[in-house]
Amino acid sequence: MNGKIIPTEDALVSAMEPIYLGIFEGIKAYVEGNVRSSGKLNIFAWKPHIDRLWRSAAVNGITIPYTKEELLQGTIQSIKANGFSTNCYIQPRIWPKAGTGRYLASEFHVVIPTWKFDTFLGEENPHFDDERRYVISSWRRISSDALPPQAKSWANYANSGLAIREAARLGYDGAIFLDRRGFVSEGTGACIMSVRAGKVITPPVTASILESVTRGFFIKFIAEDLDLPVEVRDMTRVELYASDEVFFCGTGAEVTPVSSVDNMKIGEEYPGPVTRKIAEHYSQILAGGIGKYQYMLEPVE
Ligand code: PMP
């Protein structure tokens, strides 16, 4: 925190801090060799995540008082100080320092907490076969002309919270947003992909989505490595119902299959064969098993 290693319970700020004006990133480090074991860690897709943090900062009037390289070194120190040798999550958070101008602030706090998580990926995955029932939210996704979803700010997640709580009240596992035009947008914390007749379809950045690092990478590797056509285009609600397979992708969600939308069962098989294939390939990439993607792994050393 602000250049020092501090135990979480001592990383304190005043209750008057405008944390709600902050931005953040969600990044993961995975174990080399097998994402369900322990050992050496590599941070996946550090560069695109940190580039997005800088874009989120620019949009939100934040000047990050460190270089990208300093944040990388701080992240590595945070992981090492925790002594992690299993997969861990990294969440750089930056917000205006109280008393320095709030919306026009001149000084900023920078904290890089790291903590362990359980992956959905890899063999003998206990979560992958669980049913996941989603509902189309009655709340629309925030739009770019009011609160840009492309920047990763805490404020955006108030919109996600409305949809998550509505879905829970209605007895669903989660929500899917439409954008203000009525096209499929994204989940509350992940991007959405549909598989139909061997093609993968995902909404464009203009459908009020976060510019997801995972989505961008999936678009590339699904086409290049798995030889499946990928269409980035607007998708209607009815097309989503008529999918053979639906899954979420994101740093947190990894690959999360969807079994039904609005109680309409998706496809014949759950999780579908394409979803399984993508998840398997992604877990190999994260474990450093695919040479051409070594450049996306930042070693924790
Ligand atoms: N959309 C939203 C709203 C999210 O919170 C996330 C998670 N950061 C994503 C999409 C996926 O983005 P990424 O692949 O960069 O993690």
Q: Which residue's CA lies nearest to atom 4 of ligand 1?
A: 189
For ligand 1, the distance from its centroid to the CA atom of residue 191, given in whole angstroms, is: 6
Regarding the beta carbon of 26 and ligand 1, being less than 6 Å apart is answered yes
Q: Is the CB of 213 under 6 A from ligand 1?
A: yes
How does pLDDT run along the chain (301 residues), one tens digit per residue?
Answer: 999 999 999 999 999 999 999 999 999 999 999 999 999 999 999 999 999 999 999 999 999 999 999 999 999 999 999 999 999 999 999 999 999 999 999 999 999 999 999 999 988 777 888 999 999 999 999 999 999 999 999 999 999 999 999 999 999 999 999 999 999 999 999 999 999 999 999 999 999 999 999 999 999 999 999 999 999 999 999 999 999 999 999 999 999 999 999 999 999 999 999 999 999 999 999 999 999 999 999 999 9
pLDDT value, residue 125: 77
Our answer on whether the CB atom of 251 is closer than 6 Å to any ligand 1 atom is yes
Q: HSE on the CB side for 258, CA within 13 Å?
A: 33
Whole-angstrom distance, CA of residue 175 vs CA of residue 78: 33
Strand ranges of the sheet holding 93-96, from the earlier edge strand across to the other edge:
23-24, 93-96, 108-111
Q: Does the beta carbon of 186 sit less than 6 angstroms from any atom of ligand 1?
A: yes
Pairwise CA distance, residues 135 & 237, whole Å: 11
Q: Cα separation of 26 and 22, whole Å?
A: 14
State the distance from the centre of ligand 1 to the C-alpha of 170, rounded, in angstroms. 24
Distance of CA 213 to CAs 153, 176, 192, 237, 290, Å? 15, 19, 13, 24, 18
Residue 190 beta carbon below 6 angstroms from any ligand 1 atom: yes
Q: Is the pTM of this model over 0.85?
A: yes
Cα separation values, 16 from 7, 19, 97, Å: 21, 9, 10
